[in-house]
C-alpha cells in the first residue's frame, strides 16, 4: 500500500490549481512532487517576457469573493499586488461602447431607433421567454432580448468558440455571465456604489488587483514557496501513464529529457486536461469512458504581441472586438494593466487575441504572417497605425478553453463517474475538470481537493457550478481561511523581491 508519509502526492500541472494544491499540501507536511510539461509555471496564467516586454495569455484580473483565496494572494505578493481601475469597451459597428453597458452610451451609440427596437426586444423576451434554455443564444436572449444578443454577444462569442451560439450549452453562460441582465447592468451603473460588495457581479466590477509584473509573478512565488517548504517541481516533464490497481493509483510514469521514470505515489491530484488524463490510465479506461473523453473538446488560443512606438494608444485595459470583418477577438493593452509590463514608458505593448482550433489555418500560420495580420486588422478598426509597430511575437496556447458544446455534459458525467472509482485521485482546475473556471475558482477546487487527500469529503464540483454563483462556499472556505491564518503565524514568508520574475 502507498505510504502517505514517505511517498509523494504527485500533482500534475503547475498552473494555479496545481501550485495551490501543492502549497496547501506541503504546508500540512505532505511530500509533493509537481509535474509540469512546460518550461515555466503558471499555465494559461503565466506571464510571457519578450525583450523586456511582458504580457498575459489572455489578461488575468485578480478579483474574488472567496476570502481564503484573497488572503493567500496577499500573503504571497503583499504590496506587489496593485489595485487597478478597470476600463473595457466593445467595438461594434465602427463605434466603441462601454462595457458593462451604460444606458446613455448605448443609446447614443446605437441610435434612438435601434435603442427603441432593442427595448421592445427586451420586453418581449420577458413576456415570452425561451423555455427550456438550451443554448447560449437562449440564455442571453432571455436576459437581454434577441436584438441585443445579436449586437453585443453573437459575433464575439462565435469568434471565441468557433461554433454557432445555438450549439453552445446554456451552462457556459450561466457560469460565466452569472446573474447579469439588462436591468442588473443598468442598476449597477446607477446604484452600484450603494450596493454591498458581496452582491457585486464579477462581470460588472470596476477595479481589480494585478501583480506588478503580471500574473506569472504570483505563480513564480507559489513555485518558490513550494520548493522552500520541501516540495519538488519538475519542469519540462510530461506524464505518460498513471499506473493503477484495485481502484488506486500506484505510480505515475514521467518522461523528462528522454528519460522515463516511474514515481510511486500516495495519491494523485490532476489538473491536466481530462481527455489526456483518461487516455493516460494504465490499464486503459473502459471503451465507453475513452469514447466519452474523446468528445471533450477544447478551443485553442493565440496571442499576437505587438511592440508599438507610442506611449499612449487608448485608455482601456482591453477591448472586445464585435466586428465580423476581422478575426481578432479581443485586444489587451498591457501597459494599462501595470506600467511595469512595459520597460520603456515611450512604448506600448498590445496583445491581440485569436481563438482557433489546434491545426487550423490560424494555428499553423507563420508568426510573421500573424503579426502582419494583426497590424492590418488594428488599422482596419482604427486602433493602431501599423507604421508604429516596431516588433512583435506570437504565443500559442493549446487547450485554453474547455468547450461547452452539445453533448459535453453527458460525456463529462461518464468520465467523472469513472474517475470517482479511484480512491486516491482528485481533479482540480479548468482543464482538470473541463470547467471554464476563473483562476480563483480553480484555486478553490485545488484547496478542496487537497483537503480530500487529507481525509475530508468536499465536493469540488460544486465550485462555481450553478446560476446562483455561490462563491462564498461558506464553511469550506472559512475552514481554509483559518488554516491560512495559522500558517501566517507559524511560517513567515520570505520577502518578495522587487526584481522582475525570470
* pLDDT at 170 (0 to 100): 83
Q: Are residues 272 and 315 in the same domain?
A: no
Mind giving me the DSSP string for 434-447? T----HHHHHHHHH
Q: Are residues 192 and 172 in the same domain?
A: yes
Non-local (6+) Cβ contacts of 158 within 8 A are 164, 165
Q: Are residues 281 and 423 in the same domain?
A: yes
Asked if residue 159 belongs to a domain, the reply is yes
Q: Are residues 393 and 250 in the same domain?
A: no
Q: Are residues 253 and 152 in the same domain?
A: no
List C-alpha distances in Å: 105 to 97, 118, 181, 186.
7, 14, 17, 11
* pLDDT at 281 (0 to 100): 98
Q: Are residues 145 and 69 in the same domain?
A: no
Last residue of a domain, one of 373, 402, 431: 402
User: Residue 379 is part of a domain; what is its CATH number?
Assistant: 3.90.660.20
Q: Are residues 412 and 478 in the same domain?
A: yes
Give dist(CA 317, CA 489) in Å, integer. 37
**Residues 268, 419: contact at Cβ < 8 Å?**
no
Number of H helices, E strands in the chain: 18, 20
Under DSSP, the state recorded for 460 is G
Last residue of a domain, one of 161, 179, 204: 204
pTM (2 d.p.): 0.88
Asked if residue 497 belongs to a domain, the reply is no
Q: Are residues 282 and 340 in the same domain?
A: no
Q: Which residue has the cell 510573421?
A: 368
Q: Are residues 284 and 421 in the same domain?
A: yes
Other beta carbons within 10 Å of 198:
8
* pLDDT at 468 (0 to 100): 42
Domain containing residue 108: 95-204
User: Residue 477 is part of a domain; what is its CATH number?
Assistant: 3.50.50.60
User: Looking at the 3D structure of the chain, how many domains does it have?
Assistant: 3
Enclosing H/E stretch for 259: strand 259-264
Residue-level pLDDT, tens digit, the chain, 502 residues = 555 668 999 999 999 999 999 999 999 999 999 999 999 999 999 999 999 999 999 889 999 988 999 999 999 999 999 999 999 999 988 888 887 666 667 667 888 888 888 889 989 998 999 999 999 899 889 988 899 888 888 888 899 899 899 998 888 777 666 555 544 554 444 444 444 444 454 555 678 999 999 999 999 999 999 999 999 999 999 999 999 999 999 999 999 999 999 999 999 999 999 999 999 999 999 999 999 999 999 999 999 999 999 999 999 999 999 999 999 999 999 999 999 999 999 999 999 999 999 999 999 999 999 999 999 999 999 999 999 999 999 999 999 999 999 889 999 999 999 999 999 999 999 999 999 888 999 999 999 999 999 999 999 998 865 444 344 454 555 556 555 555 545 555 544 433 333 3
Give dist(CA 179, CA 200) in Å, integer. 10
Last residue of a domain, one of 402, 418, 446: 402
Q: Are residues 112 and 190 in the same domain?
A: yes
* pLDDT at 496 (0 to 100): 40
Q: Are residues 198 and 102 in the same domain?
A: yes
Asked if residue 107 belongs to a domain, the reply is yes
Asked if residue 1 belongs to a domain, the reply is no
Cis before 289 (ω within 30): no
Asked if residue 293 belongs to a domain, the reply is no
Q: Buried b vs exposed e over 348-378: b needs ≥16 C-beta within 10 Å? A: bbbbbbbbbeeeeebbebeeeebbbbbbebb
Asked if residue 2 belongs to a domain, the reply is no
Q: Pairing mode, if any, of strands 81-85 and 207-211?
A: antiparallel
Asked if residue 495 belongs to a domain, the reply is no
Q: Are residues 217 and 78 in the same domain?
A: yes
Asked if residue 312 belongs to a domain, the reply is yes
Amino acid at each position: 500500500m502507498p505510504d502517505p508519509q514517505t511517498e509523494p502526492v504527485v500533482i500534475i500541472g503547475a498552473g494555479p490549481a496545481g501550485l495551490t494544491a501543492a502549497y496547501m499540501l506541503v504546508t500540512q507536511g505532505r511530500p509533493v512532487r509537481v509535474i509540469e510539461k512546460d518550461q515555466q509555471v503558471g499555465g494559461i496564467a503565466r506571464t510571457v517576457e519578450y525583450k523586456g516586454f511582458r504580457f498575459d495569455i489572455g489578461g488575468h484580473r485578480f478579483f474574488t469573493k472567496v476570502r481564503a483565496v484573497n488572503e493567500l494572494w496577499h500573503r504571497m505578493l503583499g504590496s506587489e499586488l496593485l489595485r487597478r481601475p478597470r476600463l473595457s469597451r466593445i467595438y461594434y459597428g465602427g463605434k466603441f461602447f462601454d462595457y458593462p453597458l451604460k444606458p446613455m452610451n448605448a443609446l447614443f451609440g446605437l441610435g434612438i431607433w435601434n435603442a427603441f427596437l432593442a427595448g421592445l426586444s427586451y420586453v418581449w423576451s420577458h413576456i415570452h421567454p425561451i423555455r427550456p434554455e438550451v443554448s447560449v443564444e437562449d440564455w442571453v436572449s432571455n436576459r437581454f432580448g434577441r436584438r441585443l444578443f445579436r449586437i453585443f454577444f453573437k459575433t464575439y462569442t462565435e469568434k471565441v468558440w468557433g461554433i454557432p451560439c445555438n450549439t453552445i450549452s446554456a451552462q457556459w453562460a450561466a457560469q460565466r455571465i452569472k446573474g447579469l441582465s439588462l436591468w442588473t447592468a443598468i442598476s449597477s451603473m446607477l446604484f452600484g456604489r450603494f450596493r454591498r460588495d458581496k452582491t457585486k457581479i464579477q462581470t460588472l466590477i470596476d477595479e481589480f488587483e494585478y501583480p506588478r509584473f503580471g500574473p506569472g509573478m504570483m505563480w513564480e512565488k507559489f513555485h518558490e514557496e513550494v520548493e522552500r517548504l520541501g516540495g519538488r517541481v519538475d519542469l519540462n516533464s510530461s506524464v505518460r501513464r498513471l499506473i493503477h490497481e484495485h481502484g488506486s493509483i500506484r505510480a505515475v510514469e514521467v518522461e523528462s529529457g528522454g528519460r522515463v521514470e516511474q514515481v510511486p505515489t500516495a495519491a494523485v491530484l490532476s489538473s491536466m486536461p481530462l481527455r489526456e488524463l483518461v487516455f493516460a490510465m494504465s490499464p486503459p479506461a473502459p471503451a465507453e469512458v475513452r469514447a466519452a473523453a474523446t468528445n471533450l473538446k477544447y478551443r485553442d488560443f493565440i496571442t499576437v504581441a505587438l511592440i508599438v512606438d507610442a506611449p499612449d494608444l487608448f485608455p482601456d485595459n482591453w477591448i472586445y472586438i464585435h466586428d465580423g470583418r476581422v478575426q481578432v477577438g479581443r485586444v489587451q493593452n498591457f501597459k494599462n494593466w501595470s506600467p511595469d509590463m512595459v520597460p520603456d514608458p515611450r512604448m506600448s505593448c498590445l496583445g491581440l487575441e485569436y481563438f482557433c482550433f489546434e491545426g487550423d489555418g490560424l494555428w499553423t500560420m507563420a508568426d510573421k504572417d500573424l503579426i502582419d495580420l494583426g497590424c492590418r486588422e488594428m488599422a482596419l478598426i482604427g486602433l493602431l497605425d501599423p507604421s508604429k509597430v516596431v516588433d512583435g511575437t506570437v504565443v500559442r496556447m493549446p487547450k485554453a478553453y474547455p468547450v461547452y458544446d452539445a453533448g459535453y455534459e453527458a460525456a463529462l458525467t461518464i468520465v467523472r463517474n469513472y474517475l470517482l472509482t479511484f480512491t486516491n485521485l482528485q481533479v482540480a482546475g479548468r482543464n482538470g475538470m473541463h470547467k471554464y473556471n476563473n483562476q480563483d475558482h480553480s484555486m478553490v477546487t485545488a484547496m478542496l481537493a487537497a483537503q480530500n487527500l487529507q481525509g475530508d469529503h468536499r465536493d469540488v464540483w460544486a465550485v462555481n457550478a450553478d446560476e446562483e454563483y455561490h462563491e462564498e462556499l461558506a464553511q469550506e472556505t472559512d475552514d481554509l481561511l483559518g488554516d491560512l491564518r495559522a500558517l501566517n503565524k507559524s511560517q513567515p514568508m520570505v520577502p518578495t523581491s522587487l526584481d522582475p520574475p525570470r
